[in-house]
Chains A and B, each alone.
Chain A
């Protein structure tokens, strides 16, 4: 919670997103949401970085496009899973 710098915000958002990603959830949608959250934090920090080095933000737009593609891919996986299993519960995934 300590915000000395804008850098700490990034660390915190990134960590929280990862934590949700690795946690045991009931729905697949939560995992996808956590991935979006991670993407969002990286977008924010990329913006700050580019601002500090006085660089044009074209790369940021490219990043945005690709992250959106990734999100849509995740959603399509979710849809196909719901179509085959009827729900998105995924607690049966295990190492063994």
Chain B
């Protein structure tokens, strides 16, 4: 099953690549349409839009998913129901493809809902309590976005068609479009885990690692960015886009800080995903959709590679994900640490790896155009924080001493997993330059002063020095985290925002319902129904029993008595 789906998806990727090159060279785009039903004035059509953006994205999605399925053949080989897992992953890929190729809101809804539902099924795959909680958090956060898209479908009926690409930039000044843009932005924010809804992404790391590599690095969390890229011509001058800028910059900053305090390997990678998502959304809301798309694609490559390396490390550490137990792995697993290093450095934006092309372009565009001082500072700070937690991770995992056991056997020559990682390694090295040559028909003109241009390098070097210094721990080093406990817990726990979605939504209502239950369900409503009526019936029937247990003649006598009274009153 794994091999079949791997070959199918790889072949699909090659087809998509061929058509992408052909379409972008000739400037083509193809639109299929099948009208399912037409009633009164609305018609439900199934449309497929194939232009270079959707073909490129489909190529990347199918490449990553084929490699992940091949990887999970070895990663989850002790799983009894592996077929079930592969089928879920394939359904996920199908929903993603449906989302990518649709210019129609109803098929976007199908893909969107399918993504949310199948990611729930995949997150709860291990079926322990933590996975159930994480899955519930994921599904319900995504559900908010689904509701928003449903409401957009209702509001868009004002325009007579659900194919939004035809009219949405024409009707931009309408009040209805204002509401629609608000709801689309909220939907993208829930799927992308921006600030109010950001608690599900670190929690969803309870999923198996191949799922994290596919879903939480490249496809599910970029669905929101893709939706906003499609809706970009509508949203450019809207007010809520500026709100989105603010929230996504804060997301980027906050997750960069929180990743520095985390000790769980997958959570660090999840928070770095969140930070890069914030970067994508913020550059999108500044008005550069193609750069956001570029960063989306290169990020997908190296983040999936990073998750797969993390999976290999977790397997080797006997399923321990805590980085304090790891160390010195670069000596023992050279190939895996090669992949880990390259993807980490690509994440930092080291020159001429793939992440450099997108990230450096983003930062230079931010510096070149005149924006807010806060935007500027937070962008550069977040870039520095990215390097900071990356180097801290590299120090903890690869350079410090091994902390797990005395006798150990670290085996990474599992060539199934390694081959799948090498495919992504090749792509993550070259996809930066390859995409920049394909997507941008002309390079961006950027003219910056010397120090401003090198500001990225300065911030990166500063971050790496700090990352090196933070992770030097000896036996006698002071634990500064406990000294500044309030500040540290504020920064580590993602500014206490997960409590909004978990504690705040559960505790108050459960407490209140306990009060209600004790007082009403087990209290007053027992008196007015249930036991109260039972007691009434019991006591009164005892009374009636006493009252009725007498001679039959009494009744006959009462009859005669009544008759006599009647006679006396009416006949005399």
Interface residues of A (CB under 8 A from B): 11, 15, 18-19, 21-24, 91, 93-96
In the bound complex, do residue B556 and residue A93 qualify as a contact, i.e. CB atoms below 8 Å apart? no
In the complex, which of the residues A11, A19, A93 contacts B551, with contact meaning CB atoms closer than 8 Å? Answer: A93
Instruction: For B552, list chain A residues within 8 Å (CB).
Output: 93-95
A22-B556 CB under 8 A given contacts A11-B567, A15-B564: yes
Taking the closest CB of chain B, its distance from the CB of A64, in whole angstroms, is 25
- Residues in A with CB closer than 8 Å to B560 are 15, 18-19, 21-22
Assess whether A96 is in contact with B551, with CB atoms less than 8 Å apart: no
* B559 to chain A: closest residue by CB: A22
Cross-interface CB contact of B549 among A22, A24, A96, cutoff 8 Å: A96
Kindly identify which residue among A18, A22, A95 contacts B550, using a CB–CB cutoff of 8 Å. A95
Q: How many residues of B contact A (CB 8 A)?
A: 15
Q: Determine whether the beta carbon of B548 is less than 8 Å from that of A23.
A: no
A23 contacts B551, CB within 8 Å?
no
Contacting pair B555 A95 (CB below 8 A): yes
Chain B residues within 8 Å of A19, by CB: 560
Q: B518 in the interface, Cβ–Cβ < 8 Å?
A: no
Q: State whether the Cβ of B480 lies closer than 8 Å to any Cβ in chain A.
A: no
Q: Which of B557, B564, B567 contacts A23 (CB 8 A)?
A: B557
Instruction: List the B side residues contacting A23 at CB < 8 Å.
Output: 553, 557
A91 — which chain B residues lie within 8 A by C-beta? 551
11 extra A-B contacts, CB within 8 A, seeds A15-B564, A22-B556, A94-B552: A11-B567, A22-B559, A23-B557, A93-B551, A93-B552, A94-B549, A94-B551, A95-B548, A95-B550, A95-B551, A95-B555
Question: Which of B548, B555, B556, B559 has most chain A Cβ within 10 Å?
Answer: B556
Distance in Å: Cβ of B329 to nearest Cβ of chain A? 91
28 CB contacts below 8 A, A to B, read: A11-B571, A15-B560, A15-B563, A18-B560, A18-B563, A19-B560, A21-B556, A21-B560, A22-B553, A22-B556, A22-B557, A22-B560, A23-B553, A23-B557, A24-B551, A24-B553, A91-B551, A93-B551, A93-B552, A94-B549, A94-B551, A94-B552, A95-B548, A95-B549, A95-B550, A95-B555, A96-B548, A96-B549
List residues of chain A with CB within 8 A of the CB of B553.
22-24
- Among the interface residues B553, B555, B557, which one has the most CB atoms of the partner chain A within 10 A? B553
- Note all chain B residues with C-beta closer than 8 A to A24: 551, 553
Q: Which partner residue on chain B sits nearest A15 by CB separation?
A: B564
A13 to chain B, nearest CB (A): 13
> In the complex, which residue of chain B has the Cβ closest to the Cβ of A95?
B552
> Smallest Cβ distance from A4 to chain B, in angstroms?
10
| Binary contact track B540-572/A, C-beta < 8 Å → 1, others 0 | 000000001111110111011001100100010
| In the complex, residue of chain A having the shortest beta-carbon distance to the beta carbon of B572 | A2
Q: Cα distance A22–B556 when bound, in Å?
A: 5
A94 cross-chain contacts in B, Cβ below 8 A: 549-552
Complex Cα–Cα for A19 and B556 (A): 9
CA distance A24 to B555 in the complex (A): 11
When C-beta atoms are compared, the residue in chain A nearest to B545 turns out to be: A96
Residues from chain A with a CB closer than 8 A to the CB of B563 are 15, 18
- The CA-CA distance from A93 to B563 in the complex, in Å, is 24
Question: How many angstroms between the C-alpha atoms of A51 and B411 in the bound complex?
Answer: 131
Residue of A nearest to B556 (CB): A22
A89 to chain B, nearest CB (A): 13
Contacts of B548 in A (CB 8 A): 95-96
Chain B residue at minimal CB-CB distance from A25: B553
**Chain B residues with CB below 8 A from A15, complex form:** 560, 563-564, 567
**In the complex the two chains form, what is the Cα distance from A24 to B558 in whole Å?**
12
Q: For B567, list chain A residues within 8 Å (CB).
A: 11, 15
Cα-based distance from A40 to B527 in the complex (angstroms): 60
Within the complex, the shortest CB–CB distance from A76 to chain B, in Å, comes to 22
Q: Which residue of chain B has its CB nearest to the CB of A2? A: B572
Q: How far is the CA of A94 from the CA of B563 in the complex (A)?
A: 22
A55 to chain B, nearest CB (A): 25
Minimum CB–CB distance for A90 against chain B, Å? 10
* A19 CA / B561 CA spacing, docked (Å): 9
Q: Which of B200-215 contact A (CB under 8 A)?
A: none
Closest chain-B Cβ to A33's Cβ sits at a distance in Å of 16
User: What CA separation (Å) do A67 and B556 show in the bound complex?
Assistant: 22
| B556 → chain A closest CB, angstroms | 4
Contacts of B555 in A (CB 8 A): 95
Contacts of A11 in B (CB 8 A): 567, 571
* Residue in B closest to A31 when the chains form the complex, CB atoms: B553
Which residues of A lie under 8 Å from residue B556 when comparing CB positions?
21-22
Q: Which A residues are in CB contact (< 8 Å) with B551?
A: 24, 91, 93-95
Residue of B548, B549, B557, B571 with highest tally of chain A CB at under 10 A = B557
Q: Which residues does chain B contribute within 8 Å of A18, judged by CB atoms?
A: 560, 563
Contacts of B559 in A (CB 8 A): 22
- A48–B567 Cα distance when bound, in Å, is 21
The answer for the CA separation of A22 and B553 in the assembled complex, in Å, is 5
Interchain nearest-CB distance for B422 vs A (Å):
94
What CA separation (Å) do A93 and B553 show in the bound complex? 9
How many angstroms from the CA of A91 to the CA of B564 in the assembled complex? 25
Q: Tell me the minimal C-beta distance from A86 to chain B in angstroms.
A: 21
Nearest opposing residue in chain A for B557, CB measure:
A22
How far apart sit A96 and B551, CA to CA, in the bound complex (Å)?
9
Across-interface contacts of B557 in A (CB, < 8 A): 22-23
Q: Name the residue on B nearest A11 (C-beta).
A: B567
Considering the chains assembled together, what is the distance between the CA atoms of A15 and B571 in angstroms? 14
- Shortest beta-carbon distance from B550 to chain A in Å: 7
In the assembly, what is the distance between CA of A94 and CA of B551, in Å? 4
Residue ID in chain B nearest A7 by CB atoms:
B571
Cα A22 to Cα B563 in complex, Å, equals 13
Most buried by B among A21, A22, A23, A94: A22
Q: With both chains docked as a complex, state the minimum distance between the C-beta of A22 and any C-beta of chain B, in angstroms.
A: 4
Could you say which residues of chain A place their CB within 8 Å of the CB of B550? 94-95
Instruction: Tell me how far the C-beta of B86 lies from the nearest C-beta in chain A, rounded to whole angstroms.
Output: 75
Bound: A96/B559 CA distance, A: 18
A36 to B149, CA, bound (A): 94
